[in-house]
Amino acid sequence: DVKVTQSSRYLVKRTGEKVFLECVQDMDHENMFWYRQDPGLGLRLIYFSYDVKMKEKGDIPEGYSVSREKKERFSLILESASTNQTSMYLCASSRNPGPGLGYQETQYFGPGTRLLVL
Amino acid sequence: GEDVEQSLFLSVREGDSSVINCTYTDSSSTYLYWYKQEPGAGLQLLTYIFSNMDMKQDQRLTVLLNKKDKHLSLRIADTQTGDSAIYFCAESMNYGGSQGNLIFGKGTKLSVKP
């Protein structure tokens, strides 16, 4: 069974604090993703990584950074938390589909971290 | 840009069938997915369909794909209260080195009334 874990289920931080959200997967997946989920907006991709030390911006990277020092771990960093970053944060991982058809890019999700910034 | 559209809410009675619809834009998508999110939890893969298929059935779930109209639907037979959740449609992105990325719809919240 694929397992994706996130360091916290609930987190309360103050405006201006530096926040670290950790995600670990145990399936040796190449790809890892960070999303935020807000009511009425669905899932929005913040950053993703397709290899160690590699990162790519998603749709809403502003105010966030990421770190992928080890294959199994992908960290999301809020350098200076703001109230508009209050949200549910979801981490996911998947295998690299490679070229050609017949390869499935199923993303496996962690349970989510609900962050409240006061 | 790529987009996935789905209605935000659906309400059905227990025992009825539920049909959740989705439209997508990327005709090169290899796979299309349905994910389920129960309250307070992450997303769980429910089922998927390969783009050269028209239909896939898995117990109470039936997925229909109309490639011409870029329309995907999920039918849940004999809907139970435990099926109450948010259902996300997603398509795979297969261009620009973004293989492995999915584009998600905003989710359809299914409410099942006893």
Q: Residue A99 has what pLDDT?
A: 57
* Average pLDDT of chain A, as a whole number: 91
> Residue B50: beta bridge partners?
B31
The beta-carbon neighbor of B45 closest among A31, A106, A110 is A106
Count of pairs with CB atoms under 8 A, one residue in A, one in B: 59
CA A5 → CA A16, A75, A95, distances in Å?
A: 26, 12, 16
**Phi-psi region at A40: left, alpha or beta (left = phi > 0; alpha = psi -120 to 50):** left
The beta-carbon neighbor of A105 closest among B8, B41, B102 is B102
- The whole-angstrom distance between A21's CA and the closest CA on chain B is 15
Residue A1 vs residue B67, higher pLDDT: B67
**Nearest alpha-carbon partner for B104 in B26, B40, B11:** B26
Q: For residue B78, what is the DSSP state?
A: S
Retrieve residue B64's tokens: 């229909």
Give contacts of B30 with chain A, Cβ < 8 Å: 97, 101, 105
- Give the pLDDT confidence of B53-81 residue by residue, as tens digits: 899 999 999 999 999 999 999 999 999 99
Beta strands in chain B (DSSP E): 4-6, 9-13, 18-24, 31-37, 43-50, 55-58, 61-66, 71-76, 85-92, 102-104, 108-113
The beta-carbon neighbor of B99 closest among A43, A105, A106 is A105
Q: Residue A88 has what pLDDT?
A: 96
DSSP string, A28-77: --SEEEEEEEETTTEEEEEEEESSTT--EE-S--TT-EEEEEETTEEEEE
